[in-house]
Amino acid sequence: MDLNGKKALVTGGGRGIGKGCALELAGRGADLVVNDRPGSPDLAGTVQEIQGLGRRATGVEGNVFDRSGCHSVVAEAIDVLGSVDILISNPAYSVRADFVDYDPAEWQNTLDATLSSGFHMSQLVARHMIDRGSGGKIVFISSVHAEMSYQRNVAYNAAKAGLNHMARTIAAELAPHRINVNAIEPGWIDTPGERETFDDSHIQERAPTIPWKRLGLPADIGKAAAFLASDDADYITGSILKVDGGWVLKDV
């Protein structure tokens, strides 16, 4: 999974899964632009860690939940790196609530942030890749929520299911340009966001129910992303790769 000489853009890369992806790409030789939301308290630290690996890294703040923010981030990434060979699209937003009480505004916010953002980023980067004529790699971070109907997550479940089908459709259209498009479905990953949602006792109680007997780590997702972004995955496109420690099998 040699990524030497490759230029990557990772969105939502300040912490959690996005950071795990950024570090794994850097560890295999890629130079990066790492995006996170405006005012992110995490972005500078992630950039420093990547630089500590001996790779070039630049942090770019920007709201990729709308078209104009995506455009600004992509333009700055191309300006900084000269080109973008790899996109790891990792924006997400989720509010848990009962379906009958779900706020329509939060429904729209979740779709904009989790699904539409992926459309905008990938379209802008794909146009750049097509103009360059050198192919490229686009990896979406999806979720097992795309397949599993978790209650009180109606908007997020729908957004991730849509993301999977969007990824397959984009893969079919971009294949003639030798742009590989795939998605990763993380299971339950030990991220700061999960630690904010669930307390330690809940995690300690539930983690052994996963067939692999532990929560996943951001690095587990990062390694999968690095593989799909490498030449080793040249013949893989339109795939949805589950990286969940067997989570979806736990009740089988």
Architecture of domain 7-249: 3-Layer(aba) Sandwich (3.40)
C-alpha 136/C-alpha 133 separation (Å) is: 9
Task: Give the burial string for 150-166 (b: 16+ CB within 10 Å, else e).
Answer: eeebbbbbbbbbbbbeb
Task: With a cut of 90, say whether residue 3 has pLDDT above it.
Answer: yes
Asked if residue 33 lies in contact with residue 75, where contact means CB atoms within 8 angstroms, the answer is no
Structure tokens at 245: 């420690």
Asked if residue 144 lies in contact with residue 185, where contact means CB atoms within 8 angstroms, the answer is yes
Q: Each residue of 140-194: pLDDT tens digit? A: 999 999 999 999 999 999 999 999 999 999 999 999 999 999 999 999 999 888 8
CB atoms inside a 10 Å sphere around CB 4: 9
Average pLDDT over residues 109-135: 97
Q: Each residue of 41-60: pLDDT tens digit? A: 999 999 999 999 999 999 99
93 assigned to active site: no
Average pLDDT over residues 95-124: 97
C-alpha 204/C-alpha 200 separation (Å) is: 6
Structure tokens at 92: 């997400």
Q: Residue 250: what pLDDT?
A: 85
Asked if residue 111 lies in contact with residue 159, where contact means CB atoms within 8 angstroms, the answer is yes
Average pLDDT over residues 210-235: 97
Q: Residue 122: what pLDDT?
A: 98
Q: Residue 162: what pLDDT?
A: 98
C-alpha 19/C-alpha 213 separation (Å) is: 23
Q: Residue 167: what pLDDT?
A: 98
Mean pLDDT of the chain: 96
- Cα dihedral 181, 172, 119, 189 sign: negative
Q: Residue 21: what pLDDT?
A: 98
User: Catalytic one among 102, 150, 156, 235?
Assistant: 156
Structure tokens at 46: 């992630």
Q: Residue 196: what pLDDT?
A: 83
Q: Residue 86: what pLDDT?
A: 98
Q: Which residues pair with 182 in a beta bridge?
A: 139
Average pLDDT over residues 100-117: 97
CB atoms inside a 10 Å sphere around CB 219: 17
Q: Residue 51: what pLDDT?
A: 97
Average pLDDT over residues 201-219: 93
Asked if residue 143 lies in contact with residue 240, where contact means CB atoms within 8 angstroms, the answer is no
- Alpha-carbon separation of residue 199 from 20, 195, 213 (angstroms): 22, 6, 18
Task: With a cut of 80, say whether residue 252 has pLDDT above it.
Answer: no
Asked if residue 234 lies in contact with residue 178, where contact means CB atoms within 8 angstroms, the answer is no
Average pLDDT over residues 209-221: 96
Q: Residue 194: what pLDDT?
A: 81
Place of tokens 């490759």: 6
